[in-house]
Amino acid sequence: MGKEKVGLVALVMIVSSWLVSPSSSSSFRGDLTRGKAPLTFGSPSSSSSSLVLNRVGSSVVFPLDGDVFPTGSYNTTIYIGQPPKPYFLDPDTGSDLTWLQCDAPCVRCTETPHPLYRPSNDRVICRDPICASLHSGDYKCDDPERCDYKVMYADGGSSSGVLVKDVFSFKSYGGGDLSPRVALGCGYDQEQKPGASIPFLDGVLGLGKGKSGIVSQLSSQGLVRNVLGHCLSTHGGGYLFFGNDLYDSSRIMWTPMSHDYLKHYSPGTADLLFAGKPTGQKDLLLVLDSGSSYTYFSSQAYEALSSAVKKALDRKPFAEALDDPTLPLCWRGRKPFKNIREVRKYFKPFALSFNSGGRTKNQFEVPPESYLIISAMGNVCMGVLNGTQAGLQNMNLIGDISMQDKLVIYDNERQLVGWQNSVDCSRPPKSRTFAA
């Protein structure tokens, strides 16, 4: 356990071909500042394709395993290949590309729960739009018959490899089987920042909005709507789904997707409230990232939140636990805690208040159990971290911890993100889809 963060993935920073050799930090900055570029929506064919989609309208549900702490990630089992083999993947709404640790052969792989993926012979060629979507600007491939990729994540890790297509096997919510061919990365070189804790997984499930995102790929084949959502339980586990028929839209607080970040799901700007009162932190631009275990605020917002939490603990039986290395800010009580429920009454909720369209204020509520963890030493630690320190600059990133017990939906067709507060995520929409 490092003092920093846990989790394989935060955000994709760049994807480049081998010809460009990116230095991580400068590419990271370059990529984020390009976020202001105009986006174009609604391809000329969108009306006809939505007619097709209206008829199909299937959804896919995936049970999730794992938790924020101590595991540090969630994972879902995806069946890939012919015959289909299971892989445990980290669902990441902060990046597009799905990749598996791959025997191509592997140059650098971390330990995996399953045998390394053996790539299919069906390579994605350089000219393929999916290859183009992973590269910026005028890219060149050294071999027109293949598409090399490199994805770099905000936590300093990366995966390099080659794109192939293979068969993914899903059971749709309606009961039918789907076996689409999907482009994925055969990752034969994974780098990790020294000291980062590496989840014991086979790869990443890329849920971002880019063309290579798995939901975009399935939707362009007319199999599901380009909508996904997740529900992470504070008890661990939860579920992920693709498609739009597993929730009641009228119960969701919808907010337009902001285009300030080209590649990330952003609900736009919000004001930070603590215990229902303004903190003075306004217009924080937020990003939703299921690949990040913790929430990261830019330095000023982090400062405002941590001092509000500390102030509310005044004259309560807590002392800062400087000897606890779990996270930067931990407190010990009179005796060690076992469960977050024992401390809930001492901590107040915070909220992000979105000003959507001027009329209503959509609040993203964060109760104590969605920003605190209990460490192995029995202390309470704050799971909102200083993003500026983590190299995220002014980005405010809502990670798994704060999305727990919420239904969070990313609707790429209507360009909306939405959530429902206080949901029991341990109960999937309909349990029959969960039969093994």
Residue 110 touches ligand NAG, criterion: CB under 6 A: no
Catalytic residue among 67, 90, 92, 271: 92
92 is known as an active-site residue: yes
Residue 4 touches ligand NAG, criterion: CB under 6 A: no
Q: How far is the CB of 169 from ligand NAG (least distance, A)?
A: 16
- Options 104-112, 137-145, 382-390, 407-415: segment touching ligand NAG (CB under 6 A): 382-390
In terms of CB distance, is 88 or 241 closer to ligand NAG?
88
Catalytic residue among 96, 155, 289, 324: 289
Contact with ligand NAG (CB under 6 A) among 26, 33, 46, 299? 299
153-170: b (≥16 Cβ within 10 Å) or e: bbbbbbbbbbbbbbbbbb
- With a CB cutoff of 8 Å and minimum separation 6, the contacts of 252 are 407, 409, 418, 419, 420
In terms of CB distance, is 164 or 304 closer to ligand NAG?
304
Contact with ligand NAG (CB under 6 A) among 326, 388, 402, 412? 388
Residue 394 touches ligand NAG, criterion: CB under 6 A: no
- What does the per-residue mask of binding to ligand NAG show for 240-279, with x meaning CB under 6 A? ----------------------------------------
Interaction with ligand NAG in 42-101: which residues (CB under 6 A)? 65-66, 71, 73, 75, 77, 88
In terms of CB distance, is 16 or 159 closer to ligand NAG?
159
* Cα–Cα distance measured from residue 264 to residue 217, given in angstroms and rounded to the nearest whole number: 17
202 is known as an active-site residue: no
Q: How far is the CB of 71 from ligand NAG (least distance, A)?
A: 5
Residue 201 touches ligand NAG, criterion: CB under 6 A: yes
Residue 161 touches ligand NAG, criterion: CB under 6 A: no
In terms of CB distance, is 185 or 199 closer to ligand NAG?
199
Contact with ligand NAG (CB under 6 A) among 386, 415, 420, 421? 386
In terms of CB distance, is 379 or 388 closer to ligand NAG?
388
Contact with ligand NAG (CB under 6 A) among 241, 265, 302, 318? 302
CA 328 to chain centre: 22
Sites of contact with ligand NAG (CB under 6 A): 65-66, 71, 73, 75, 77, 88, 199-201, 299, 302-303, 386, 388-389
Catalytic positions, written as ranges: 92, 289
